[in-house]
């Protein structure tokens, strides 16, 4: 098992587990004293720890040795218009599994409700990081309006704009032409809300230099499907 912990990690550190973590290890996974558990905190790499039961329901982890150093964070920003909560959970998990290092809600004209539970979003990204074996905890900056996000993006960051109206019908070739697969640039991927982008928003996005508008095929995808499709495309063309 791999667990995210907030504490600093070093050999000899003792980590008291909260009730849910102790229950998960002792009762769900049926781990016992001295069983190894991997831990990470998003900063100090991955460490092997050993389980020690404390009392009837509690448990500690004793951190022993580092198993992997902390790698550089993935440099893909996933920019999305908020969806209803169950689909948002799915989207956050899949974006992390597919390599996004920053997950940021974008408020657009047709976004349905601009209130978003950022704690839930962050909890989902941590759970996804635990399960898929990465060591970084994705960054989840606060939601921001589309025009501001566009001005805040660094000019060298290639913006991959998922646009169902894009005339580009070969997204693989378009992406490979916009970014050198041997030396991929920092990326941002942008997917719109269920209502799509307005004409003004489309014009604004397309006017940004270093932007490639891609069609993901002739069918209109749900925003959560588009998330997985575009990140798969990015991975296939530009590597992990
Ligand atoms: N415009 C549609 C509508 O009237 O409801 C649907 C928008 S779609 C559900 C949500 C987002 O997914 C779009 O803004 C776009 O970013 C992305 N998307 C969906 N299908 C796509 C496709 N075939 N190619 C590129 N992007 C697509």
Q: Which of 81, 84, 88, 192 to mutate to test the pocket of ligand 1 (most atoms within 8 A of CB)?
A: 192
Alpha helices in the chain (DSSP H): 19-23, 85-97, 118-132, 146-152, 171-178, 199-207, 223-238
Residues with Cβ within 6 A of ligand 1? 162-164, 191-192, 194-197, 215-217, 219-223, 226
How remote is the CA of residue 162 from the centroid of ligand 1, in Å? 7
State the residue for tokens 């499709």.
229
| Same-domain check for residues 54 and 99 | no
Domain boundary among 42, 68, 94: 68
Distance, CA of 212 to CA of 191 (rounded, Å):
13
Domain count, the chain: 2
118 and 18 in a common domain: no
- The CATH number of the domain where 149 resides is what? 3.40.1280.10
The tens digit of pLDDT for each residue in 44-96 reads 999 999 998 777 777 899 999 999 998 877 789 999 998 887 888 999 999 99
Q: Are residues 127 and 216 in the same domain?
A: yes
Q: Mean pLDDT score of the chain, rounded to an integer?
A: 91
- Token digits of residue 181: 């697969």
Of residues 157 and 27, more confidently modeled: 157
**Interval between CA 84 and ligand 1 midpoint (Å):** 16
From 80, 159, 162, give the residue whose CB has the most ligand 1 atoms within 8 Å, as the site to mutate: 162
Residue 114: per-residue pLDDT: 62
- Give, using CA atoms, the residue closest to atom 2 of ligand 1: 196
Angle at 195 (CA atoms; ends 191, 200), nearest 5 degrees: 75
User: Ligand 1 centre and the CA of 179: distance in Å?
Assistant: 23
Check whether residue 80 and residue 162 sit in a common domain.
yes
| Minimum-distance ligand 1 atom for the alpha carbon of 195 | 5
- Choosing from 165, 199, 220, 228 the residue with most ligand 1 atoms within 8 A of its CB, the one to mutate for a pocket test is 220
* ipTM summary value: 0.92
The pLDDT tens digits of the residues spanning 129-155 come to 998 888 988 999 999 999 999 999 999
Give residue-wise pLDDT tens across range 179-196.
Answer: 988 888 999 999 999 889
Q: Are 200 and 222 in a shared domain?
A: yes
Q: Which residue, among 17, 31, 69, has the nearest Cα to 47 in the 3D structure?
A: 69
30: domain range? 2-68
Length of the chain: 240
In angstroms, the CA 163 to CA 240 distance is 23
What pTM did the predictor assign? 0.83
pLDDT band for 176, please (50, 70, 90 cuts): very high
Ligand 1 atom with the shortest distance to the CA of 190 = 16
């Amino acid at each position: 098992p791999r667990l995210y912990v907030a504490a600093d990690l070093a050999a000899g550190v003792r980590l008291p587990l909260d009730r849910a973590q102790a229950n998960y290890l002792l009762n769900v996974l049926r781990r016992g004293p001295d069983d190894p558990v991997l831990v990470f905190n998003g900063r100090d790499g991955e460490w092997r720890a050993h389980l020690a039961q404390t009392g009837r329901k509690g448990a500690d982890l004793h951190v022993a040795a580092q198993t992997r150093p902390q790698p550089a964070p993935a440099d893909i920003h996933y920019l999305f218009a908020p969806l209803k909560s169950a689909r948002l959970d799915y989207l956050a998990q899949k974006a992390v599994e597919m390599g996004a290092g920053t997950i940021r809600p974008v408020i657009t004209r047709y976004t349905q409700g601009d209130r978003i539970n950022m704690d839930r979003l962050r909890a989902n990204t941590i759970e996804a990081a635990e399960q898929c074996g990465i060591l970084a905890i994705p960054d989840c900056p606060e939601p921001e309006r589309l025009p501001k996000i566009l001005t805040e993006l660094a000019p060298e960051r290639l913006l991959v704009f998922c646009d169902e109206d894009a005339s580009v019908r070969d997204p693989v070739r378009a992406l490979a032409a916009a970014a050198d697969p041997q030396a991929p640039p920092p990326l941002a991927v942008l997917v719109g809300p269920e209502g799509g982008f307005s004409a003004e928003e489309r014009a604004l996005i397309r006017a940004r230099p270093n932007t490639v508008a891609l069609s993901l095929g002739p069918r209109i995808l749900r925003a959560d499907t588009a998330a997985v499709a575009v990140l798969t495309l990015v991975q296939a063309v530009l590597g992990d």
